Each structure stands twice: as structure tokens, then as C-alpha cells.
Amino acid sequence: MKYTVITGASSGIGYEAALTFAARGKNLVVAARREEKLNELKQEIEKINSEVEVVTIKTDLSVNENVYSFYEKLKSYEIETFINNAGFGNFDSIADQDLGKIEQMLRLNTEALTILSSLFARDYENVEGAQLINVSSGGGYTIVADAVTYCATKFYVSAFTEGLAQELASKGVKMKAKVLAPAATETEFAERSLDVDGFKYEDNVPQYHTAKEMAQFMLDLYDSDKVVGIVNGETYEFNLVDPIYPYAQRTSK
């Protein structure tokens, strides 16, 4: 049996992606901090496809030792697709940002993603059909005012994943790496970024996608041969494209 791993699966894009991949008949390993939300997700998946196996793992991937122990738990499963979705944002000027929150964001958005991507590539780069999908943001290609540090983490995710995709292609291995870059999406993102409760997208955001729509875009990316799935920040159209960042091959002296 093969499994799709999704981190940050307790809400938002990760939650809806789990439902979407389950509808495709994919067995799942879903991870998040909130165990009760994972159990709710498992119950919803059973309604969609009772034949799909769902493994839930409670973990906080902003703690480095948890990242390694989480991957160890995956060793007993054959992974087909690894989706690094866990992450959060922050809206503050750099001088005013809460550095404790920023440290946690850096560890989750960049360090955990890098470690898990590296371990997965180490074990699966020569496995037919293996895919890594890392969730970045439109803010991984455009710097947004008062979200500079968050955007910087997502620039890293985009550059790292695009670079990995090209590295894998140059090596001629079987694994594929891809990056999903949403624009504004109706999730818990705004509440955590702004440290507020009850944020309503329809009252505050002129244009956005639902998490369910983004999950379908992720499936479209999964099915495609392209490396980047990105939402146009002006038109909100979803496009599947080749790598955006330039990639220079190393030259020897």
C-alpha cells in the first residue's frame, strides 16, 4: 500500500487536500498539532471513501526534534506523495514583529520543510511515481508590505523547491518536486497571521479562493508535468508553469 503524507492537515488547504486525495483513492498519513481536528478529518474521509486508510499523527513540526521523529514514524509506510503544507504567516513591520513567533515561523516554514524534503529525496528519488509538493505562496514570488519576513520564508520555499526540481531532473532520477503558490485563500491563515479571532474573508479580502478550490489546484499540479502551480495575484487565475527562478548549472574550473 502506498500513502500520501500531508502536514498541516487539521484545517485549510491541508484538510481539503486530504479530502481531495482521498476521493482519488489515496491512502493518507495526515499530521498536525490538533489531534481532535485530525480525528474529525478521518471521519470525513470515511464518508467519502471508506476503503481509504487514514493514519493520523499528532506533532508540532516547529520543534526540530519532532521533525526527525515524525519522519521516523513514516518509515513503516511506502510513501507515494509527500505534501509539505504546514506553515503560518505574520503581518507586522519588521521592527514590531514578535521574535518568538518569528522564530517558530522560520523553523516551521523553512527548517522543517527542508529537513523533510531532504529525507524524502534521500529515500525516494529513484522511486517511480514519487512526488514532493511544497506549499509556498504568491508571497513566495512577490514581497507584500508588512509581511516581509513571511514572504522571505516563502521565497525560500519556492527557490528551494524549484532548485530541487531542476536538480532531480539533471540527475535523471524518477522523483518529481513541485511547488504550489496560492494567493489569498480562505483558511485560518489570516487569524494566525494577525493574531485575531473570527476573521471573515468576505468582509476584508476583495478576492480569494476557498481552501477546497486550492486543494483542487494542488491535484491539478499533481497530475501535471509542470513544476510550479501559481495563482496570478491580479486575475486569480491558476497557472501551471515551468520553474520561474533562474537556475545556473555549476561549472568546474
> What pLDDT sits at residue 252?
66
User: What is the structure's pLDDT at 202?
Assistant: 80
Q: Which of the four pLDDT bands, split at 50, 70 and 90, describes residue 199?
A: confident
Nearest to 211 by CA among 3, 8, 5: 8
Please state, in angstroms and as integers, the Cα–Cα distance from residue 156 to each residue in 50, 53, 94, 152, 221, following that order. Answer: 38, 33, 18, 6, 20
Q: How confident is the model at residue 253 (pLDDT cuts 50, 70, 90)?
A: low
Beta bridge partners of 239: 230
Write down the domain spans for the chain: 2-241
Task: Average the pLDDT over each of 24-33, 95-104, 162-171, 198-207 and give the range with the smallest value.
Answer: 198-207
Number of H helices and E strands in the chain, helices first, is 9, 10
Query: Residue 157 phi/psi, 5° resolution?
Result: -60, -45
pLDDT tier at 143, thresholds 50, 70, 90: very high
Contacts of 72 (CB under 8 A, 6+ apart): none
Average pLDDT, the chain: 95
Q: Which CATH superfamily is domain 2-241 in?
A: NAD(P)-binding Rossmann-like Domain (3.40.50.720)
Does residue 252 or residue 248 have the better pLDDT? 248
**Residue 87 clears pLDDT 70, i.e. is over it:** yes
